[in-house]
Amino acid sequence: MVTIHNLHFSYRSKPVFKGLSLHLEPGHIYGLLGRNGMGKSTLLRSIAGFLFPQQGEIGVLGHRPGRRQPAFLQRVFLLPEDFYLPPMELRRWVTLHSTFYPKFSSEQFYKAATGFELPVDGRLDEMSYGQQKKALICFALATNANVLLLDEPTNGLDIVSKGQFRKVMAGALAEDRCIIISTHQIKDLENLIDRITIIDEGKILFDQTIDAIAERLLFRLSYDPEEVARALYAESSFRGNALILPNTGGEESRPDLEMLYKAVMLHGERLNKLFSLKSTR
Amino acid sequence: MKAQSGINQHFSMSRWSALLALHWADNRKRYLLALPAMMGLLLVWYCFLTIMDRFDPLDEGMQQVTYISGLLVVGCLYASTIFAEFDSKAKAIAWLSVPASALEKLLCGLLFGVVVFFVVYNVVFYLVDIPMVRLTNELIARQHRVWPGGYSVGPSKIYNVFTGKGDDPMDQRYHLYLLSYLAIQAAFVLGSIYFTRYAFIKTAVALLLFVLFFTIFQSRIIERALPGGFRRGPFFDWIKGDGTLNVKIIRISPLIETALGFLLLYGIPPVFWITTYFRIKEKEV
- Cβ of residue A64 closer than 8 Å to a chain B Cβ: yes
Q: How many domains does chain A have?
A: 2
Cα(B183)–Cα(B270) distance, rounded to whole angstroms? 9
Say if residue A117 is in the same domain as residue A234: no
Contact residues, chain B, for A73 at CB < 8 Å: 97-100
pLDDT in tens, A78-112: 999 999 999 999 999 999 999 999 999 999 999 99
pLDDT for the residue B171:
57
Phi and psi, residue A179, nearest 5°: -115, 125
Say if residue A76 is in the same domain as residue A194: yes
- pLDDT confidence bin for B2, thresholds 50/70/90: very low
Greatest mean pLDDT among A131-145, A234-248, A251-265, B138-152 lies in A131-145
Residue B1 confidence (pLDDT) above 50: no
pLDDT for the residue B164:
63
pLDDT for the residue A268:
85
- Cβ of residue A99 closer than 8 Å to a chain B Cβ: yes
Between residues B251 and B206, which one has the greater pLDDT? B206
Q: How far is B76 from chain A (nearest CA, A)?
A: 24
Contacting residues for B82 by C-beta, under 8 A, at least 6 apart = B109, B110, B112, B113, B189, B192, B193
Contact residues, chain B, for A67 at CB < 8 Å: 3
Q: What is the ipTM of this complex?
A: 0.90
How many Å from the N-terminal Cα to the C-terminal Cα in chain B? Answer: 24
Three-state SS at B283: coil
Nearest CA to A168 out of A211, A110, A209 is that of: A110
**Residue B227 burial by CB count (10 A; 0-12/13-18/19+): exposed, middle or buried?**
exposed
Say if residue A14 is in the same domain as residue A124: yes
The residue ranges of every structural domain in chain B are: 9-208+265-282
Say if residue A65 is in the same domain as residue A194: yes
pLDDT for the residue B270:
96
The residue type at A56: G
pLDDT for the residue A54:
94
The last residue of a domain, from among A167, A201, A235 = A201
Nearest CA to A208 out of A278, A105, A103, A112 is that of: A278
The last residue of a domain, from among A201, A223, A246 = A201
Range B255-261, long-range pairs (CB < 8 A, 24+ positions): B260/B236, B261/B235
Torsion of CA A86, A90, A92, A95, to 10 degrees: 110
Say if residue A151 is in the same domain as residue A47: yes
Mean pLDDT, chain A, as a whole number?
91
Whether the CB-CB separation of A202 and A39 falls below 8 Å is answered with yes
Cα(B217)–Cα(B205) distance, rounded to whole angstroms? 18
pLDDT in tens, B222-242: 877 887 778 777 767 788 876
Residue A160 confidence (pLDDT) above 70: yes
pLDDT for the residue B72:
95
Alpha helices in B60-116 (DSSP H): 60-79, 89-97, 102-110
Cα(B122)–Cα(B72) distance, rounded to whole angstroms? 12
Say if residue A107 is in the same domain as residue A221: no
Residue B167 confidence (pLDDT) above 60: no
Range of the domain at A215: 210-280
Residue A23 confidence (pLDDT) above 90: yes
pLDDT for the residue B242:
66
**Across A20-34, B29-43, B167-181, B267-281, least confident range:** B167-181
Say if residue A71 is in the same domain as residue A162: yes
pLDDT in tens, A173-211: 999 999 999 998 888 888 889 999 999 888 899 999 999
**Across A81-95, A136-150, A217-231, least confident range:** A217-231
Nearest CA to A79 out of A112, A124, A47 is that of: A47
The last residue of a domain, from among A144, A169, A201 = A201
* Cα separation values, A167 from A129, A173, B152, B183, B218, Å: 20, 11, 85, 55, 70
Contact residues, chain A, for B18 at CB < 8 Å: 96, 99-100
Inter-chain CB proximity A68 and B102 less than 8 Å: yes
pLDDT for the residue B82:
93
Question: Per DSSP, what are the bridge partners of residue A222?
Answer: A241
Contacting residues for B238 by C-beta, under 8 A, at least 6 apart = B222, B223, B226, B230, B231, B232, B249, B250, B251
Say if residue A41 is in the same domain as residue A118: yes
Three-state SS at A193: coil
Q: What percent of chain A has pLDDT over 90?
A: 68
Say if residue A96 is in the same domain as residue A235: no
Nearest CA to A102 out of B164, B220, B222, B8 is that of: B8
Inter-chain CB proximity B12 and A48 less than 8 Å: no
- pLDDT confidence bin for B165, thresholds 50/70/90: low
Question: Per DSSP, what are the bridge partners of residue A11?
Answer: A14
Q: How far is B190 from chain A (nearest CA, A)?
A: 20
CB-nearest to B18 from A78, A85, A100 is A100
Torsion of CA A25, A31, A36, A41, to 10 degrees: 40
Strands A217-222 and A240-246: antiparallel
**Across A139-143, B186-190, B202-206, B244-248, least confident range:** B244-248
The residue type at A203: K
- pLDDT confidence bin for B150, thresholds 50/70/90: low
Say if residue A197 is in the same domain as residue A215: no
Contacting residues for B129 by C-beta, under 8 A, at least 6 apart = B42, B46, B58, B63, B66, B67, B158, B159
Total beta-carbon pairs less than 8 A apart between chain A and chain B: 87
Say if residue A181 is in the same domain as residue A224: no
Mean pLDDT, chain B, as a whole number?
87
pLDDT for the residue B61:
87
Three-state SS at A207: strand
pLDDT for the residue B176:
76
pLDDT in tens, B56-97: 788 888 998 999 999 999 999 999 999 989 989 999 999 999
Contact residues, chain A, for B13 at CB < 8 Å: none
Residue B261 confidence (pLDDT) above 60: yes
Say if residue A144 is in the same domain as residue A69: yes
Domain containing residue A15: CATH number: 3.40.50.300
Q: What is the pTM of this model?
A: 0.89
